[in-house]
Amino acid sequence: MSEESKETKLIRQLDRMFHDHCVVMQAAWIEWKHGKGADAAMQWIENTLDGPGMIPSDDEPWATEAQAYYDANRSEPFPQCYCGRPSHIAHMSEGYCCDEHYRIGSAKAKDSPATAREGG
Ligand SMILES: [Zn+2]
């Protein structure tokens, strides 16, 4: 029997963590659509965050705005919008927090190839 390398063990552990986080979100969605509703579904999410102490505290930046919190804390954030807010719209190496700021910012850079969006 061959011994797994440290890298293989780490990849396996990260894969399991990612898998379980996806399954928690799926279970929450099932609870919402077919079970006891949205509040019960959120219990799945809260339990997952509470264990490792990951419930955002109210004084954390953007902790009361879901989209901005996601935009600021995702693994590879887009560049900050010119207004200072986190962005979820990327265009020509610039980031924008909303459609209005995207329209204003992208009007300055006339030609418009690919635009990317992430989040809800
Ligand atoms: Zn903005």
pLDDT reported for residue 116: 62
Question: pLDDT digit string (tens) for 54-80?
Answer: 999 999 999 999 999 999 999 999 999
Q: Phi and psi at residue 93, in whole multiples of 5°?
A: 65, 15
Domain ranges of the chain: 1-55, 58-120
Is residue 72 within 8 A of residue 66, CB to CB? The reply is no
Instruction: Quote the ligand 1 centre to 115 CA distance (angstroms).
Output: 16
| Ligand 1 ion: Cβ-proximal residues, 5 Å cutoff | 81, 83, 85, 97, 101
pLDDT for res 108: 80
Query: Could you tell me the distance, in angstroms and rounded to a whole number, from the CA of residue 87 to the centre of ligand 1?
Result: 7
Question: pLDDT value at position 111?
Answer: 54
pLDDT tens digits, residue range 88-107?
999 999 999 999 999 999 88
